[in-house]
Amino acid sequence: MKFDILTLFPGMFSGPFDESIIKRAKDKQLIDISLHNIRDWATDRHQTADDAPYGGGAGMVMKAGPLASCIESVKSCQPASTVVLTSPHGRRLTHSVALELAQRSGLIIICGRYEGIDERIRSIYAEDDISLGDFVLSGGEIAAMALVDAVTRLIPGALGSVESAETDSFGDGLLEYPHYTRPPEFNGLTVPEALLSGNHELIRKWRRKESLRKTRSLRPDLLSLVKLTREDRKMLTEIEQEVASDV
């Protein structure tokens, strides 16, 4: 998959994209990442890429000209790629959105800065808007990193294990169950007996129930979005009874 990132600060990506899963995916040629400095398409000697907003107000706005030229240059080389704007106006990045974007042949990600971009860029070029959530970042670079990471994990071969991606939190709509490793006892806390039993069915049931328990406790809104089985509903009833008995 091809990622083209349009940014005023390409140096921000040198660390996150040179480590761990993204680095391995690049080494395997599963993904290709290109950084494009928007200032390179500015026409004045100062490489100006922002200007004061019409109507007044604080801050600066990214100019349409350099950004449009940058988009068109990249798009001409990657015509099948989807132009994505990182923006608080966008739809929230969720697991299902990441799955959808992972099916694209490529993403051209525009990193906003300052007070934002000239709205005409959104009108003419943006094919999708993605937001990390209802909070403010200094720019779209961190959002772009998160987007690339979330999508890369879903590309076959990137993790080395399909099961790992499928069992992550939100993989099936629920939060993931708790994990434990050696030693079996730490600071007086022990590993649940089910995980030490060697009984695969018992382990499966424990993990599913704890996944439901954690989701019910931390993100109950997700339960209404998941297709629950009869076993799931029975487990939720047991969890409700357990919680009631602890009160």
**pLDDT tens digit sequence for 172-183:** 889 999 999 999
Examine the pLDDT at 163 and tell me if it is beyond 70: no
**pLDDT-derived band at 202, boundaries 50, 70, 90:** very high
Q: What percent of the chain has pLDDT over 90?
A: 90
Q: Which CATH number describes the domain made up of 185-246? A: 1.10.1270.20
pLDDT, position 174? 93
Domain with CATH 3.40.1280.10 in the chain: 2-162
**pLDDT-derived band at 62, boundaries 50, 70, 90:** very high
CA nearest neighbour of 151 among 141, 134, 165: 165
Catalytic residues: 88, 115, 153, 168
Decide which of 54 and 169 is more confident: 54
**pLDDT-derived band at 162, boundaries 50, 70, 90:** very low
**pLDDT tens digit sequence for 11-35:** 999 999 999 999 999 999 999 999 9
Task: Determine the average pLDDT of the residues in 131-153.
Answer: 96
Examine the pLDDT at 170 and tell me if it is beyond 80: no
**pLDDT-derived band at 168, boundaries 50, 70, 90:** low
* Residue type, position 106, single letter: G
Cα–Cα distance, 145 to 15 (Å, whole number): 10
Q: What percent of the chain has pLDDT over 70?
A: 95
The 3 state secondary structure assigned to the chain is CEEEEEECCHHHHCCHHHCHHHHHHHHCCCCEEEEEEHHHHCCCCCCCCEECCCCCCCCCEECHHHHHHHHHHHHHHCCCCEEEEEEEEEEECCHHHHHHHHCCCEEEEEECECCCECHHHHHHCCCEEEECCCCCCCECHHHHHHHHHHHHCCCCCCCCCHHHHHCCCCCCCCCCCCCCCCCCEECCEECCHHHHCCCHHHHHHHHHHHHHHHHHHHCHHHHHHCCCCHHHHHHHHHHHHHHHHHC
CA nearest neighbour of 113 among 78, 148, 139, 93: 139
CA nearest neighbour of 140 among 155, 129, 151: 129
Mean per-residue pLDDT of the chain: 94
pLDDT, position 206? 97
pLDDT, position 172? 82
Q: Which CATH number describes the domain made up of 2-162? A: 3.40.1280.10
Domain with CATH 1.10.1270.20 in the chain: 185-246
State the number of CA atoms in the 13 A half-sphere of 115 facing the CB: 14
